Amino acid sequence: MDIFLTFDYELFFGSVTGSPEKCILHPTEKLLELASKHQTPMVFFIDVGYLIALEKQMDEFPILQADYQKVVQQIKDIVAAKSDVQLHIHPHWEKSYYDGQKWIMVTKGHYKLSDFSQDEVLDIVRRYKSKLDEISGRKSIAFRAGGWCIEPFEILEKIFMELGIKFDTSVFPGGHFESGEYDFDFRGVPTKNPYTFQKTTLQEDANGFFKEYAIGSYRYSPLFYWKLYILGRLNPKDHKSVGDGFAMSQPGRKKQVLTNFTWNHASTDGFYATKMKTITNIALRKKEENLVFIGHPKGCTLFAFKELDQFLSEFKDRCHFQTFHSIQ
């Protein structure tokens, strides 16, 4: 079975975005150390809008120029280490700005690509992909939508074909959510992984140009989330995220997971990492072809780094760890 360890390389998008050092640079360096130790490549989905926002204002604020240079160098280091960088788009960076002290996140009405006009979407995708390809020195061929908001895919179909983006990994089966800023519903997506599609990621199309490598999913119990929240309070040293920012508000989410069984993604973040072995063994028993894990450098914890280290020790000889460039 092929395993893809994927990480969304980004800041937080709440009232405090956090620093690039703690949210991106330092935890990614630790992840790359684990990748080197176990010879298991990883995939980093780069939030390119952040780089474009840095570039836009770095003549005015020298600190942004320093941040830009550090992040660009790490992206080059990722490629040199034989891991992978691919395209991740949070289009609210088109409206967000640095006020001299902090980033002002303008997410309302601008969080997902479908909040923009068709012409704006085409321009964003072209510019963001061009910037990533320029930095990495290779053509990006895979995509992950910010906030899972890949639908409606019809606004992306033609531009992705034009630019050679043929893999998507934004879907996780069974997942659904709705908030003030975004929503998604992946209940009823194909169980086959990968599957081809054309006009929508929600339906298989045997003749489609694109392939969906769906993120693994798992039915988490309320007990899991009670443990997650309690450990975070009792032992913050091990269970607090290394990132120093705050996530966007998700009204009603905490109550939902503490009182109901819920489908959520297979993740390397924090306490979720305890389920990696279970999810992988289930996939192996079912003889699945692929398994995709999602994580975030900003969402790593000291506990999660240890869990990931143990996971790689156990499965590096039983599974193949892949990147999207290695399967094209």
As for how many domains the chain has, the answer is 1
Count CB neighbours of 283 within 10 A.
19
10 Å CB burial of residue 201 (0-12, 13-18, 19+) is buried
3-state secondary structure of 184: strand
Cis peptide before 152 (omega within 30 of 0): yes
Angle at 41 between CA 35 and CA 42, to 5 degrees: 90
pLDDT in tens, the chain (328 residues): 999 999 999 999 999 999 999 999 999 999 999 999 999 999 999 999 999 999 999 999 999 999 999 999 999 999 999 999 999 999 999 999 999 999 999 999 999 999 999 999 999 999 999 999 999 999 999 999 999 999 999 999 999 999 999 999 999 999 998 877 889 999 999 989 999 999 999 999 999 999 999 999 999 999 999 999 998 889 999 999 999 999 988 887 888 899 999 999 999 999 999 999 999 999 999 999 999 999 999 999 999 999 999 999 999 999 999 999 999 7
pLDDT of residue 250: 80
Residues 275/263, Cβ–Cβ less than 8 Å? no
The secondary structure of 249-283 as a DSSP string is P-TTHHHHHHHS-EEEE-B-SGGGGGGHHHHHHHH
What's the whole-model pTM score?
Answer: 0.97
Start-to-end Cα distance in the chain = 17
β-bridge mates for residue 212, sequence order: 168, 195
Write out the two tokens for 24: 């991106």
Per the structure, the complete domain to which residue 262 belongs is given by: 2-327
pLDDT of residue 146: 96
Residue 188: which of 147, 217, 229, 221 has the closest Cα? Answer: 217
9: domain CATH number is: 3.20.20.370
pLDDT of residue 182: 87
pLDDT of residue 254: 86
Q: How far is Cα 285 from Cα 211, in angstroms, rounded to an integer? A: 24
